[in-house]
Structure 1
């Protein structure tokens, strides 16, 4: 079955890194990759300058999308990789939403920040907006200048306080299936024993992962969850981080925290955000 992968691009090095990662991640899979660029400025009906500028921007974007498609075609050895381009005049969020629906997108792959990304921000504003807005399509975020490493170990942090349905776990298991990855479930140990609810949620999670290579890990409680997860990534040589984005989740907290607190969690590995 062919996969449909959306690649939002602003033609920055970071978005190209995300593209390269996607091509290598799905190197042996039949896929259609969609390059999406959004050209959106507020145009006054009375402003000829605005209209001319928009026309120039659209022509430039069309040329860059064509060049990007040609570059991607020469960067893959898989004859079952197809590439399409989408040039939208909508804002990025609307453009992505419409593309996901129209082309039945399975996964959005994007960089941590774009051409104008400030160094101190761990995610660019567009990345944060996509994370917060999508509840029907997983998003894979690729760190800046990240060199592809086969994701043999995928970490899935959880406190077991939440029940996960099979549909929420499926994006994780599908990625694990690509390269026979091991799934490392990491629980931050806040109490000595799990409650009855936590035990039940753990049992259900294990049933979802029954046909996959997984293991359970306990981490001591730190003052900062970011420190716990970063330590776990280092200790077990984790190649990808996966989390479900739900209300009060770790993801929601880090994208809404003040920037000073965010600095403690710069993604050093690809980060799969699974919608609730």
Structure 2
């Protein structure tokens, strides 16, 4: 599994690497650690690893930031992974990650997050929320330490009867390698419930015919998801999302974005 893990060397990033290491105990993981240095002018690293920048006034600052990042990378324990590489980019955090993760570039993007609440969420949301909205790569986000993480139960929020509905390879690999049971919400209203036969047909098409799964008539809402998790204690919540324009995001946050900002559980979001 090819994983991209953006890091700012914070505690949240440490949690993300711990989670990646847990995944690596079940499936081979090629890990890329990415550090992004915010910069408003054009900058890049040349073949010698030196900063080339258009504005000389920020040369010293960027040189110092690159050296700090290189020291930060050296602090991480990278045992347990099939391979590890590091990279440094310059620019806005969310848009740089989105640009780096087109379809097929990585199997999974793991991000630690502090979440976003109140006015911050209304105006811009967390960086992770912005990446969830725009990245074509599945995003696994978390707010706290999951060093003892086991995946026995996954809550999957997905409209199975939607044309071209898919489950990403990363989610399939996690569910199968951990031997997890899928608990599925697949409708906006209980009156639109998807049958168990339809569920089995869909899972068979996705190569998951042998997995344990249950489908529920619950409507899809943040409240319903939180209540279900409180009752049955899910190990991960996976949500199929659709990208949102900057206009609509001001007035309406998707269920996935709310979960990423508010829940202390690993949340996997994907366009499916």
* TM-score, L = length of structure 2: 0.76
Aligned pairs, how many?
251
Instruction: Measure, in 1, the Cα distance between the counterparts of 2:176 and 2:73.
Output: 31
Instruction: Measure, in 2, the Cα distance between the counterparts of 1:264 and 1:246.
Output: 14
The alpha-carbon deviation at position 157 of structure 1 amounts to: 2.4
Q: Counterparts in 2 of 1:68-217, with a 5 A limit?
A: 71-73=76-78, 76=79, 78=80, 80-97=81-98, 99-100=100-101, 104-113=105-114, 125-135=126-136, 137-158=137-158, 162-166=162-166, 168-187=167-186, 190-192=189-191, 194=193, 198=194, 202=199, 204-207=201-204, 208=206, 209-217=208-216
* TM-score, L = length of structure 1: 0.75
Instruction: Measure, in 2, the Cα distance between the counterparts of 1:235 and 1:151.
Output: 17
The alpha-carbon deviation at position 17 of structure 1 amounts to: 0.4
Provide the secondary structure at the position in 1 that maps to 2:35: strand
Is the Cα contact below 8 Å between 2:142 and 2:267 reproduced in 1?
Answer: yes
1:103 to 1:55, Cα distance in 2 relative to 1, 3 A: farther
The alpha-carbon deviation at position 99 of structure 1 amounts to: 4.2
- Structure 2: gaps of 5 or more residues: 43-52
The aligned residue for residue 275 of structure 1 is: 271
1:161 to 1:97, Cα distance in 2 relative to 1, 3 A: same
- Structure 1: gaps of 5 or more residues: none
Instruction: Measure, in 1, the Cα distance between the counterparts of 2:83 and 2:260.
Output: 38
The alpha-carbon deviation at position 214 of structure 1 amounts to: 0.9
The alpha-carbon deviation at position 40 of structure 1 amounts to: 2.7
Is the Cα contact below 8 Å between 1:255 and 1:262 reproduced in 2?
Answer: no
Provide the secondary structure at the position in 1 that maps to 2:217: strand
Instruction: Measure, in 2, the Cα distance between the counterparts of 1:61 and 1:151.
Output: 32
Is the Cα contact below 8 Å between 1:239 and 1:270 reproduced in 2?
Answer: yes
The aligned residue for residue 246 of structure 1 is: 242
2:10 aligned to which of 9, 12, 21: 12
Provide the secondary structure at the position in 2 that maps to 1:51: helix
1:134 to 1:193, Cα distance in 2 relative to 1, 3 A: closer
- For residues 230-268 of structure 1, what are the alpha-carbon distances to aligned partners after superposition, in whole Å with 9 as ceiling and x for unaligned? 1111222210000111268xxx9799449xx95997222
